[in-house]
Amino acid sequence: PAAQTSSLETLPQTLNYCIDPDWMPYEAIIDGEHQGMSADYRKLLFKGLPETRLLSTSSWSDTLKRAKQGHCHIVLMLNKTDARSQYLEFSDVYLRAANVLVSRFELPVIGSLSAAKNYRVGAVEGYRISEYIQTHYPEIDFVPVASEDEGLRQVEHGELDVYVGSMYLVNNRIQKQGLTNLRIVGWTRFDDALRVGVVPEYSYLLSRINQNIQQLTEQHHIDIYQRWNHIKPYNKTDHDLVWQISLPLVLLIFFLAYRYRLLGQYNERLSATNAELQALRAKLEDRNKELSYLSVHDPLTGLYNRTQVIVAASEQVKLKSRDVNDCSIVLLDIDDFKQLNDQFGHNTGDKVLKELSELLEEQAREVDVVGRWGGEEFILLCPGTNISNARFVAFRLKQEINNFTFSAVPDLTCSFGVSELHKGESFDAWLERADQALYKAKAQGKNCVCLAEDDADRLS
């Protein structure tokens, strides 16, 4: 309203406000500063009011006296009583606090003032609760005390059985002073109903103060209570919820990561094993190839070995038995090879064997089977070749060897024994005749060709 606004604007002086100088956590003056819950409420309730300043008082009764005298224009936090209504007007209630019964742990839970008849019960002298107890419970052994601290101390030391005081305050003191053997044992029906008191001269301020009280939210009260009662904000439900949701999630993530890692390791191992297996397989295949090669070849010269020559010769023996095909063998043996080894060394001997093998392979036809029969002895199995052609082959070979320049030795000669397979003859017999012809060539001075006796007769 316009009238109120103009009154606010035309205030003659700064407004003084007063508090209880020793009533923590509600309010107190500490080092000249206004502390406690009412300091926070003041900021909210004095919004839109002219400037106010704290008028320090020495005690609660001093505060009330100054208000009565009109020096304190506003008393920030107090209960309304008939006596106080004589010199103050009151705002709406902005803070309620139950008054509780405090006792030692060894005493039973009393419940309420009506059950405290036989106990020594104390409260601060001059506080409204003291008047209330004395008025409504005359049978209680009431002991006035000087202050909250004193009352609690007396309970702790057994001088009082019960102390009655504001719940906030009692809770605050018990926590702060570590009075761990005290506990709340009951409730009174008497609540502190705290309001702002204003001297009648400035009662028009109440309308604005009441508006501000209307604006207070539950959260304002909680924040102020927590700030001055040293209670850390802690939302257990949300906290639990976070864990309820996050813990399984975290576990799931760990489980998946673990499985992923296991799978990764497993795959790595698998591919390593596969690679090993493949390498082993390749090795085995190589080895098998080598083995199958070695099973039919001579390792030094690469020519067919004795077994393979026998296999091929047996085939020819079969064919001859049906008179299908002629076949001859040329058996040749290096002359004086022992001497060569002795003179040039075994390695040079090996080299000569290899070079001679290559020469024989070159000279042989596609169908011929060239094999190493023994140490320095070679065999040519010549299918479709009679003794006449075989003799020619042997002479040609002798000639080629004589003309060939071996890398490590000056001259090399060979002796030759030739025989043609007779119908119905075994390989052994056939070979034996070639061997005897070779023996003959050696005997005749080496570097020559001899035919098996029967074959030579047929030719001549």
Catalog residues that contact ligand GTP under the rule CB under 6 A. Answer: 300, 333-339, 341, 346, 349-350, 353, 375-376, 442, 446
Nearest distance from C-beta of residue 438 to ligand GTP, angstroms: 9
**What's the CA gap between 12 and 204, in Å, rounded?**
15
Nearest distance from C-beta of residue 302 to ligand GTP, angstroms: 13
The answer, yes or no, to whether the previous bond of 299 is cis (omega within 30 of 0) is: no
Name the helix (H) or strand (E) containing 408. none
Q: What are phi and psi of 26, to 5 degrees?
A: -65, -55
Tell which residue, 245, 135, 269, 125, has the closest CA to residue 189. Answer: 135
Kindly state the tokens that stand for 435: 């061997």
CA atoms within 13 Å, Cβ hemisphere of 143: 19
CA 331, chain centre distance (Å): 77
Choice between 153 and 446, CB closer to ligand GTP: 446
Choice between 104 and 442, CB closer to ligand GTP: 442
Q: Are 354 and 412 in contact (CB under 8 A)?
A: no
Choice between 4 and 307, CB closer to ligand GTP: 307
**What's the CA gap between 414 and 376, in Å, rounded?**
10
Nearest distance from C-beta of residue 417 to ligand GTP, angstroms: 12
Nearest distance from C-beta of residue 300 to ligand GTP, angstroms: 6
Choice between 158 and 374, CB closer to ligand GTP: 374
Q: What are phi and psi of 35, to 5 degrees?
A: -120, 170
Choice between 133 and 438, CB closer to ligand GTP: 438
**What's the CA gap between 19 and 348, in Å, rounded?**
124
Choice between 227 and 354, CB closer to ligand GTP: 354
**Angle in degrees, CA 423, 426, 428, rounded to 5:** 140
Choice between 212 and 357, CB closer to ligand GTP: 357
Nearest distance from C-beta of residue 334 to ligand GTP, angstroms: 5
**What's the CA gap between 331 and 310, in Å, rounded?**
13
Name the helix (H) or strand (E) containing 332. strand 327-334
Give every CB contact of residue 343 below 8 A, 6+ residues apart in sequence. none
Q: Where are the alpha helices (DSSP H) in 230-336?
A: 236-296, 306-321
Choice between 329 and 412, CB closer to ligand GTP: 412
